[in-house]
Chains A and B, each alone.
Chain A
Amino acid sequence: MTDSSSTNRKSNTRKKYDETSLSGTFVSVLIIAVFMLISWFSVFLLFLERN
């Protein structure tokens, strides 16, 4: 796995995440939450504008 070793090197200076970590998952779902808010409120604003 050349990929993982390169990520290892890169992240040496940063915090390391162990085998049971789910931090990446949490960050990823939060991005989904942001999309959820943006998409819903855009259509909601369109609704208000056309009312």
Chain B
Amino acid sequence: MHIHRYEKLWLIIGSLILLVFLAILAIQTFYLEMGPPSHAEMIDPQTVKESEIFADAGLKEIGDNEYEIAIVAEMFSFQPGDLEIPAGATVHFTLASPDVTHGFKITDTNVNVMVVPGHISKVSHTFDQPGEYLILCNEYCGLGHEYMANTITVN
């Protein structure tokens, strides 16, 4: 098996580029805690709505301009409905589904997480720019999927 020197060089260059990508991703993931949402906690989908976390869901201030909210993603809405927060607020979202798999996506942000029945998903974001952000379900969840959306207004 003979490998031409240009091919060797190309494979080295190509691999180095991939390694650079991986290194950047690894630094962000492990040192800057910017990894993808990966919360691991189980919940019975059939009792989500009665559970302690999701029963009295609403925006809760937990610190200096820092909020927490539990959202039930169900066919075909996010409960509770539209949200309003001040600019610069950091919001910690906790999500679960009582029925099928949903997606939780806030446009113009990196908030994008799957809500799989049986699991609790968590994702956080700091809203620096004022405006009305669209929250939508980005995983097909049934014939009303396209109606599953809310807004989050940053003042």
Contact = CB atoms under 8 A, between A and B. Distances in A.
Given A29-B10, A33-B13, A40-B21, A22 B4 contact: yes
B17 interface: yes
Nearest to A22: B6
Contacts of B4: 22
B34 A51 contact: yes
B110 A47 contact: yes
Given A22-B4, A36-B17, A44-B24, A50 B110 contact: yes
A36 B108 CA distance: 24
B6 A23 contact: yes
Interface residues of A, number: 14
A51 B9 CA distance: 36
A30 B17 CA distance: 11
B142 interface: no
Given A29-B14, A51-B110, 14 more contacts: A22-B4, A22-B6, A22-B7, A23-B6, A29-B10, A30-B10, A33-B13, A33-B14, A33-B17, A36-B17, A40-B21, A44-B24, A50-B108, A50-B109
22 contacts: A22-B4, A22-B6, A22-B7, A23-B6, A25-B6, A26-B9, A26-B10, A29-B10, A29-B14, A30-B10, A33-B13, A33-B14, A33-B17, A36-B14, A36-B17, A40-B21, A44-B24, A47-B110, A50-B109, A50-B110, A51-B34, A51-B110
